[in-house]
Amino acid sequence: MARIRQLSKHLINQIAAGEVIERPASVVKELTENSIDAGAKKVSIEINNECRDIRVADNGCGIHPDDIMLAFSKHATSKLLQDEDLFDIHTLGFRGEALASIISISKLTCTTRTKDFETGTKVKCENSEVNQVETGCAIGTIMDIKDLFYNVPVRLKFLKNANTEFSYIQEIVQSIALSHPEVSIELKKFGKTVLKTTGQGNLTQTIKEVYSTDVTNNLKEVLKTDELSGLKISGFVSTPDYTRSSKKSYHIYINSRSVKCPIFQKAIDTVYKNLTANNKYPFVVLNLEIPPHDVDVNVHPTKKEVRYKNTNQIFNFIYTAIEAGLSNYIEKNYTPISAAPIHPAPQPSIEQQTQNPDIIQFPTRPKDFYVDEESDTMFVSDSVMKDFEQKTTSFVETTEQKQIFSTQIQEPELKENIIGQYRETYILIDSEEGLEIVDQHIAEERYIYEKLKSEKNIISQMLFVSDVIEISTTESELIKENLDKFERFGYGIEFLKDTEIIFRKVPQLLAKVNPKDIIADILQTIEGDIDNLEEKILITTSCKAAVKANTKLSIWQMEDIIKKWRTTKMPYTCPHGRPISKMIPHKELAGFFQRSK
C-alpha cells in the first residue's frame, strides 16, 4: 500500500484551479472582474489560439510593484483587510485564488503600472517560476495568458471546439457588461470586435449594444426601494408578449454579481405564470441590492451561489416590484374575465347553424335539384347556376341542367382506426395492441426532421416582402460565419447592415411562418453552444414547420400525420428527445375496469 505524502504546492494549485478555472470563459470572468474591482472604466478582451490565448487589458489603478509578486500567491488579496470583512463583501473578487490558479495551468505575463510611478512592472510566470522586471506602460494592467491548460492534457481533452468555447466567453462578457453599464467593455475574437459597449452608465443603451433595439423596445422599467430593509431592485423586464424559449434570457444579479438565485427566478416565474405561454420566458435584466452583511457569497469558489437571510421577504420584494413595473401594460392589454360583461348566448337557428364563411351560400327551391339514382349523381338547374356563377366567377357551360358533383365523394381509405383527437393535441388510435396516444406535433416533427435530413436540395420559398430584423453584434457574427449552413437548409439571409438582416427565402415548409420568429428560435436554440449547428438549425426548422398543439384536425389530417410518422426510422422520440406516443395495452385497460377481456 502506498505511503501518505504531502502534495507539492504546484500540484495543489492545479487541483484547486479545477474549482475556479473550468474553461477559458472562467479565466475571462476572473480577470475582467479583477479589472472592475480595480476601478477600470475601460476593459479590452482579446481571444486567440482556439480560446487558449487570452488578453485582458484595463485602465484601472494597477498593481503596486511591491505587491506584484504577492498577487500571484494563493490566498493573497487586497480586498479583505480583516476577518470581519468576509461578511461585508463590496467587491466581485475576494478569495485571492484566481491568479494563483491561472499561473499553474498557463504561461502568464502581467504588465502593470500605478499612477504613483512613471514606469511599470512586467512579471512572467511559467512552470511555477515568477520573474519580475521594470518596463514602460500606461496606467492599468494587462494580463496576457498563453497556452491555457498546456500542462493539463486531461482538461484540454474535455474542452469543446473553439466556436463553442468562445460562445461561453461571450455569455460571460455579456453578463458582466449588463451588470456594469458604467464600464466600456470590448470583446475581440481573432482580432475582430464582436461586442463593444460605450460605458455611459445607461443600462438601456447597454442592453441595446449587447442585444438590439428590438429588445429595448419591449422592456418595462422595474425600480423599487425599501429603506427599512435596505433592499433596492432596478432594471428591466420584457412585456408578456415578448418572450424567449429558455431562461437564459434571465440576467439576474445581486449587488451587481451574476448569481444562481432560485428565489429570484421563482419570483419572476410567478409574475409571468398566467401572462405567457408554456415554456416561454421574459427577457430580464435585474439587479437586487442587499446589505452585504445580509448575503453570503462565500458558498462556492466560483461565487455563483449565494445564501441570504429572510428569503420570504426577498421573494415578496422582487415579486411586487416586477408586478408594479408591468401594471400599466397589463391594465391596457389584459382584461380580467370578471370585468367583461356576460350575456346569454342566443340559440342559433337551423340556418345559422349550417352557415360557414368558407362555403358559398345560395337560395334553394325544391325544383332546383334533381338526383339521378341510377348514376348516383346530383344536377342543379340554371337559376341556381347563375347565382353560383356570380359568386364564384367560374366558367360553367350553359345547358338546361349542369352536373355539379357526385353525391358519392371519393375519400381516401383509412388504414388507421383513429378514434379522434384529445384536447386538440393528441391523436387517439385503436390499434391491435391497445389504445395508442400520439402527440400530433411531435409525430409530424419527427417525420419532417427525417425528410429534411435526407434531402440534398431543400425546396425554398422566395419572400418578396420580408421585415428587416435587428440582431445583436454577437448574433450577427454567428450568422455571418455560418451562412452556408443556413443556406443548406433553404434559408437565404441578406445583411443590410452589420446588425440588420432580411430573409430572401425560407424552406417551403415555413412559408407561412414569420421569419423573425424563425431566427429568434434558431438563435435561442444555439445560444451558448454552437456545436452541431446544422443539426440545431434542422431541429428548429422541423419544430416550426410541424402542426402545433391545440390545433383542431380533421380525421383525414390525423390520418396523414400518422401515416407519415409510421414511415420514420426513429418513431419513438422527437429530435429533442421527447416521447412521441404512449401505448395502453387492452389488457391493462380491461384490468383497470375489472373486465376479463
Q: Please give the grid coordinates belonging to residue 292.
A: 452585504
Q: Please give the Cα distance from 401 to 285 (Å, whole number).
A: 72
pLDDT attached to residue 541: 87
Q: Please give the grid coordinates belonging to residue 495.
A: 445583411
Alpha-carbon separation of residue 395 from 377, 378, 389 (angstroms): 20, 19, 7
Contact 421, 558 (CB under 8 A): yes
Give per-10-residue mean pLDDT for the chain (597 aa): 56 53 92 93 96 96 88 63 52 67 91 94 87 92 95 86 89 95 95 93 95 90 93 95 86 89 91 84 94 68 63 91 88 51 44 43 45 45 50 42 39 69 94 93 93 85 84 82 87 89 88 81 68 80 90 93 92 86 91 83
Collapse the DSSP code of 83 into the 3-class scheme (helix H, G, I; strand E, B; otherwise coil) and give the result. helix
- How far from each other are the two terminal CA atoms of the chain, in whole angstroms? 66
Contact 452, 542 (CB under 8 A): yes
User: At 291, which CATH number?
Assistant: 3.30.230.10
Domain assignment present for residue 34? The answer is: yes
Domain assignment present for residue 337? The answer is: no
pLDDT attached to residue 11: 54
Q: Please give the Cα distance from 235 to 203 (Å, whole number).
A: 8
- Identity of the residue numbered 59: N
DSSP 351: H
pLDDT attached to residue 405: 37
Please indicate, yes or no, whether residues 53 and 176 belong to a single structural domain of this protein.
Answer: yes
Please indicate, yes or no, whether residues 283 and 384 belong to a single structural domain of this protein.
Answer: no
Which class for 302: exposed (0-12), middle (13-18), buried (19 or more C-beta within 10 A)?
middle
The residue among 276, 198, 263, 183 whose CA lies nearest residue 237 is 276
pLDDT attached to residue 137: 94
Contact 483, 443 (CB under 8 A): no
pLDDT attached to residue 459: 86
Determine the length of the chain: 597
pLDDT attached to residue 57: 97
- Identity of the residue numbered 297: V
pLDDT attached to residue 292: 80
Residue listed under C-alpha cell 419513438: 572
Q: Please give the Cα distance from 432 to 429 (Å, whole number).
A: 10
Q: 10 Å Cβ neighbour count for 128?
A: 14
Domain assignment present for residue 589? The answer is: no
Q: Taking the alpha carbons of 466, 453, 487, 283 in that order, is the dihedral positive or negative?
A: positive
Please indicate, yes or no, whether residues 183 and 163 belong to a single structural domain of this protein.
Answer: yes
Contact 473, 194 (CB under 8 A): yes
Domain assignment present for residue 340? The answer is: no
pLDDT attached to residue 5: 60
- Residue 116 φ/ψ, nearest 5 degrees: -85, -5
Contact 165, 51 (CB under 8 A): yes
Q: Which domain holds residue 405?
A: 365-410
Please indicate, yes or no, whether residues 401 and 423 belong to a single structural domain of this protein.
Answer: no
Please indicate, yes or no, whether residues 430 and 405 belong to a single structural domain of this protein.
Answer: no
Please indicate, yes or no, whether residues 306 and 422 belong to a single structural domain of this protein.
Answer: no
User: At 571, which CATH number?
Assistant: 3.30.1540.20
Q: Please give the grid coordinates belonging to residue 464.
A: 418578396
